[in-house]
Amino acid sequence: MSVPPAAGAAPESALLGAGAALALVAFGGVWRMAPRYLVTVAHEGGHALVAALLGRRVAGITIDQDAGGVTRYQGGSRLGEVLVAVAGYTAPSLLGLGGAALVASGRSGAALLVALVGLLLALVKVRNPFGWVVVAAAVALIGWLALRADALVQDAAASAVVFVLIFGGMRAAHELQGIRRVNRSGRSDADALRRLTWIPGLVWVAVFWVVGAMAVLGAAGLLLGVDLAPLAGAAQRLQP
């Protein structure tokens, strides 16, 4: 038995958005043109948000042309550093899942407004010209969709943004291990967590990927009516 999407959601628009997002993320050339930057903004925003919630002073965010990024903050305990480091690769997936919940409840416009506010907050903290252009362009696009587009367009656009974040979060986690194999500088979040926790970096990469996979399943259940009961039943049977 399938589970219908929540009242107020537009299944066709959600499916269109999910398909568009998958195409944007799956093809390398397209992925590196725009979606990768949105995921990077969410990644660095996750670092900055958790640092701010822990009372740290966020000095600034940098978004590079190769879609890398750095969030600089001051102060913090060892546990705080762990939480800030974990927040980066998990942020796109978790933000996407939260957006999926809003879209599924018929609040696509609200989901876009939340994204707009987050981008504006990020824009204030961006410290390099290229990063400012990237975030400003995202503000312009999301702002138009949130304030001017009709409901059907908002449904499709919000669904696309949600799935770009979720699929993109998974792809970024997958690419992380390849980057670690090529570049052994130890500057990745997984390597920072290895130093802070003594847990191997590969384990942290797997954690990031699993969070993304769970977000995909959650969003699929919320927006596309995918029945997750068989998976839940299988998980229960595996419990001792």
Is the pLDDT assigned to residue 9 strictly greater than 90? no
Q: What is the pLDDT of residues 34-67, one digit of tens each?
A: 899 999 999 999 999 999 999 999 999 999 999 9
Average of per-residue pLDDT across 180-202: 87
Confidence of residue 236 (pLDDT cuts 50, 70, 90): very low
Confidence of residue 231 (pLDDT cuts 50, 70, 90): very low
Q: Which residue has the higher pLDDT, 13 or 168?
A: 168
Give CA torsion, residues 148, 151, 152, 157, to 10 deg.
60
Amino acid identity, residue 118? G
Is the pLDDT assigned to residue 3 strictly greater than 50? no
Average of per-residue pLDDT across 202-229: 88
* Contact assessment for residue 118 and residue 18, using Cβ atoms and an 8 Å cutoff: no
First and final CA of the chain: distance in angstroms? 27
pLDDT of residue 135: 97
Joined together, the tokens standing for residue 157 give 């656009």
Is the pLDDT assigned to residue 232 strictly greater than 90? no
Is the pLDDT assigned to residue 32 strictly greater than 90? no
pLDDT of residue 235: 40
pLDDT of residue 234: 45
Q: What is the pLDDT of residues 131-179, one digit of tens each?
A: 999 999 999 999 999 999 999 999 999 999 999 999 999 999 999 988 8
Q: What is the pLDDT of residues 73-130, one digit of tens each?
A: 987 789 999 999 999 999 999 999 999 999 999 999 999 999 999 999 999 999 999 9
Q: Which residues contact 170 (CB under 8 A, 6 or more apart)?
A: 93, 209, 212, 213, 216
* Contact assessment for residue 157 and residue 18, using Cβ atoms and an 8 Å cutoff: no
CA distance 229 to 210: 19
Point out which residues pair with 71 in neighbouring strands: 61
